[in-house]
Amino acid sequence: MRLQDLSAALEELQGQHRLRCRTVLASPQGVEVEIDGQHYLSFASNDYLGLADHPALVRALREGADRWGAGSGASHLLTGHSLAHQQAEEALARFVGREAALLFGSGYAANLAVITSLVGRGDAVFADKLNHASLNDGCLLSRADFQRFRHNDVEHLAQLLADSKAPTKLIAVDAVYSMDGDQAPLPALLELAERFDAWLYVDDAHGFGVLGDGRGSAAAHGLRSERLIYMATLGKAAGLAGAFVAGSQPLMDWLVNKARTYIFTTAQPPALAAAVETSLRLIAEGGERRERLRQLAALCRQRLEGSPYAGDSTTPIQPFLVGSDERTVRLAAMLRDRGYWVPAIRPPTVPENGGRLRISLSANHELSQLDALLDVMLQLAED
């Protein structure tokens, strides 16, 4: 893209209803947000448990800053790794029942780290077709043979694994698919990993804090295996920012030595790490919040059942399938006019003609608020 072509290319995106732009929030994250002086009921954030603005978590962050200062000042391998980071890693490992954990600045960085550190040229990665973009980028960057299997199709994956002669194999999946809300068949995937001597890398960005009593998707299935590498982000249900990888100690030692997105980046502010234990406590005590999420998801399913808009999700990600980009964008705009903020998701984030409104549920939503939203959505979609 040359300098002189940028404006025309942006206009072309606009013409295709594919121009993306940011909205500026003038309030903390929550179910009620302020944008451009207007108040909206938001179904757009990944703050599933409503912790991003929880007073106890805000206090923990503030106290963390008082104790540890503002910045970490260096990468983990220089002098950026504080006792706050160390203790957060130990707490995270304990929480998800693994030997060790490693903190990352973001889930994106964690995904690049794990995949590029374990597979390279001549190896093979096996990725679900609907995997998150950051997993795909990790696969591409690794230079390993990048094979994609049909969404949640264990037979297809088994076939690809059986045909592969790669010395190191890694299966990478989202535990909860970020645009559909459905879940990966983790026990069957782990069985294949055992059978074909492969790693199973699980990105639980949307399951951590929500599934398995908050301990995530692997815990929900009681899966224990050193070849299962667990990754979760701290910026979604955990209400903070960053991510962690959990698994065996030798794996963490390997990542510390090899992962370029760990080595060549500044450690997160220690205050964030210091707040992790409070986030974990709130997650552990969040049974009622998770029950509310289940009720909201059940209501959504029930209201959309049998309609052409229904997806197949029992998680807080509930897609309202629309189709064309134009119609998706138009519906989102009409919802905004009525005080609802529900994001329009278009290709390339989803397949062509897979446009949808992505309803993200929060434990702070009232059932009546969701019910009212669905009334409006169904009515607008029928017109």
Ligand X SMILES: *Cc1c(COP(=O)(O)O)cnc(C)c1O
**Site of interaction with ligand X (CB under 6 A):** 106-108, 111, 132, 134, 174, 178, 203, 205-206, 233, 235, 243
Residue closest to ligand X when measured from CB atoms: 107
Q: Is 186 exposed, middle or buried (0-12, 13-18, 19+ CB in 10 A)?
A: buried
236 versus 365: smaller Cβ distance to ligand X: 236
User: In what side-by-side order are the strands of the sheet with 169-174?
Assistant: 100-104, 243-247, 228-233, 198-203, 169-174, 124-128, 145-149
Q: Which residues are annotated as a binding site?
A: 20, 107-108, 132, 178, 206, 233, 349
Compute the least distance from the CB of residue 321 to ligand X, in Å.
19
Kindly tell me which of 72 and 178 has the beta carbon lying closer to ligand X.
178
Long-range contacts of the stretch 54-62 (C-beta < 8 A, 24+)? 54/239, 54/282, 56/278, 56/282, 57/239, 57/240, 57/275, 57/278, 57/279, 57/282, 59/278, 60/274, 60/275, 60/277, 60/278, 60/279, 61/240, 61/271, 61/272, 61/274, 61/275, 62/271
Of the two residues 158 and 170, which places its CB atom closer to ligand X in the complex? 170
Instruction: Pick the closer one to ligand X by CB: 299 or 360.
Output: 360
- Which CB, 206 or 303, lies closer to ligand X? 206
CB of 335 to ligand X, least distance (A): 22
- List all residues 6 or more positions away from 349 whose beta carbon is below 8 Å from its beta carbon: 133, 179
At residue 236, φ and ψ (nearest 5 deg) are -105, -110
**Shortest distance (Å) from residue 128 CB to ligand X:** 11
- In the annotated binding site for pyridoxal 5'-phosphate, the residues are 107-108, 178, 206, 233
Annotated binding residues for substrate, written as ranges, equal: 20, 132, 349
Q: How far is the CB of 6 from ligand X (least distance, A)?
A: 26
Name residue 312's amino acid: D
Nearest distance from residue 242's CB to ligand X, in Å?
Answer: 7
